[in-house]
Amino acid sequence: MSEQVHYSELGLANTREMFSKAVDGGYAIPAYNFNNLEQLQAIITACAESNSPVIIQVSKGARDYANATMLRYMAMGAVKMAREMGSDIPICLHLDHGDSFETCKACVDNGFSSVMIDGSHLSYDENVALTKKVVEYAHQFDVTVEGELGVLAGIEDDVQAEESTYTKPEEVEDFVSKTGVDSLAISIGTSHGAYKFKAGEAVPPLRFDILDEIEKRIPGFPIVLHGASSVVQDYVTLINQYGGKMEGAVGVPEEQLRRAAKSSVCKINIDSDGRLVVTAKVREYLANNPGEFDPRKYLGAARKELMALLKHKNETVLGSAGKG
């Protein structure tokens, strides 16, 4: 068992001040998932150069893949990298979709500055009890906690659901009060993965009526949107052009996300777009350079493209650029 490490020792920040500023400023903090070094380098470079606060987040599956100790040092390295670039942006290390108290506790003990406990698949009372237990432990170490009400359709690592269940506005006050969570993920029409909607059909608008009602009931409380990748069609086309099979991949329109970011939605999760960019550029590079076997070449090309996309997200979609 590794020794307990507090996130402040790694130079990380929790989300409390980040979210307060975002709600007041009408923008959302980018929460970018990463699975390897190149993705993390792209995230930090893009956010440092666009002066955007950032949440670097890992799913339970990514944590298992990378090794908990390695992740801790990668996060510390990310902070040092930003500082060496002359940037003092706040950086939070967040557990995405923690599925148990034990997983959340392990992340708190390993230097995460924020954790999500996803009890949305449980009954309401079970969700409240589990979320409260995580909050009581995490808050001892000033680690912020995200809970979830409502279920998103789609697939993300071990998180799967065939249909969405919209968040019930009448439950949010009670849930926040009983659990003590610092932010709340809601379901208003986004979904996990790259196949969010049916290809060829009009993308249904997000349920801003539900969001508006939630804002009335818990004014100023930090709201989170999961499953908010736009599934940029240029990259889907590139993947298919170079041997992939991603027919019918459709995401959330960027203009809807920008509207959400101007509300109390102060954290927007983006994972699939990062995966698509990396896969597209790796496929393209290897197809055009069949004799190449140096991972730095094809992963370097992917890193460069991902950095450009994330800058675009910060500047145009989330409104977080210049807010670091």
Count of C-beta atoms within a 10 Å radius of residue 2: 11
Report the Cα–Cα distance between both ends of the chain, in Å, rounded: 35
Task: Name the H helices within the chain.
Answer: 16-25, 37-49, 60-66, 68-84, 101-109, 124-138, 169-179, 208-217, 233-241, 254-261, 272-288, 295-312
Count of C-beta atoms within a 10 Å radius of residue 213: 15
**Count of helices and strands (H, E) across the chain:** 12, 10
The pair phi, psi for residue 27, each rounded to 5°, is -140, 170
Count of C-beta atoms within a 10 Å radius of residue 4: 10
The residue among 132, 141, 131, 79 whose CA lies nearest residue 107 is 141
Tokens describing residue 148: 């979830």
The 3-state DSSP class for residue 113 equals coil
Strand pairing report for 144-149 and 265-270: unpaired
Among this protein's residues, is 182 annotated catalytic?
Answer: no
Cβ-Cβ contacts under 8 Å for 290 (sequence gap 6 or more): none
User: Per the residue annotation, which of 24, 64, 96, 125 is the catalytic one?
Assistant: 96
- Say if residues 30 and 321 touch (Cβ distance below 8 Å): no
- Say if residues 216 and 223 touch (Cβ distance below 8 Å): no
Could you list the active site residues?
96
